[in-house]
Amino acid sequence: MAFVFGRKKLQPHFNILTQAEYAENLEEALANPHQYEDRSSGYTLTELGLWVAERFKDKPVIDLACGSPKSVKRMYRLASVAGTSDYLGTDILATGRGAYKSAVEGVKEGMPMENYPRWDVSDKDMLLFLKGLARNLKGNVLFNGIDDAIIRRDDAGIRYMDEVYLQIKRHLADGGIVIGSGDLHGWLGRFAEHEFERVEDNGPYRNSIGIFMAK
């Protein structure tokens, strides 16, 4: 999800294909997708991934600026293994639902499980999407690749993101987390300025993965 802020109209300012790189980075921090794709072993979670799965289990996960079907496939696969109840993605540049359905079906075909998360992908602006969620919907949030190149750090961008942080906090479950891959000096790192605290991680992805909990 991305915008250039000017006048009264918001315009997309993001190449959706780059989002797959952030989703890949996050999945590699939490699981072993390359080994799984090679069928050399089952899809298993890393130590950090197991910790995240404890928070994801039986709760919805909201994927903001979810990106292309390729990105959604990675995050839906992760959500499935973590035992989430629902995967809810949104991206203003989301392509037709059919492409996302194919990505989800690809996960189910390649990774047989007893249960999978319910899923939906919207093409709504992420702030409008968050405001439209049921008040009692509480879960965890994925926040991949949303940085200053996507939402500019000018007055309009700051006001917009202030609202996004507020809405995220309203929909975060008790003990829930915001986790994402991206610039920790950008909007991801600025959760710490909005009544969130960063969960310390000394692993190999600590400089590119941010995890935050509400204070």
pLDDT band at 36 (very low <50, low <70, confident <90, very high): low
Percentage, residues of the chain above pLDDT 90: 73
What pLDDT is attached to residue 57?
A: 98
Residues contacting residue 135 through CB under 8 Å, at least 6 positions apart: 170
Q: 138 and 132 in contact (C-beta within 8 Å)?
A: no
Residues contacting residue 202 through CB under 8 Å, at least 6 positions apart: none
What pLDDT is attached to residue 111?
A: 87
1 or 177, higher pLDDT: 177
pLDDT one-digit tens code per residue, 74-117: 999 999 999 999 999 999 989 788 999 999 999 999 888 999 99
pLDDT one-digit tens code per residue, 189-211: 999 999 999 998 778 888 889 99
**pTM for the full predicted model:** 0.89
pLDDT one-digit tens code per residue, 2-26: 333 333 334 333 444 467 889 999 9
pLDDT band at 175 (very low <50, low <70, confident <90, very high): very high
What pLDDT is attached to residue 148?
A: 82
Q: 114 and 83 in contact (C-beta within 8 Å)?
A: no
Q: What are the chain's domains? A: 4-214 (3.40.50.150)
d(CA 36, CA 58) in angstroms, rounded, equals: 24
What pLDDT is attached to residue 15?
A: 45
What pLDDT is attached to residue 120?
A: 97
Residue 80 tokens read as: 């499935």
Give residue 165's Cα distance to chain centre.
14
Q: Indicate whether 147 pLDDT > 80.
A: yes
36 or 19, higher pLDDT: 19
Averaged confidence pLDDT in the chain: 87
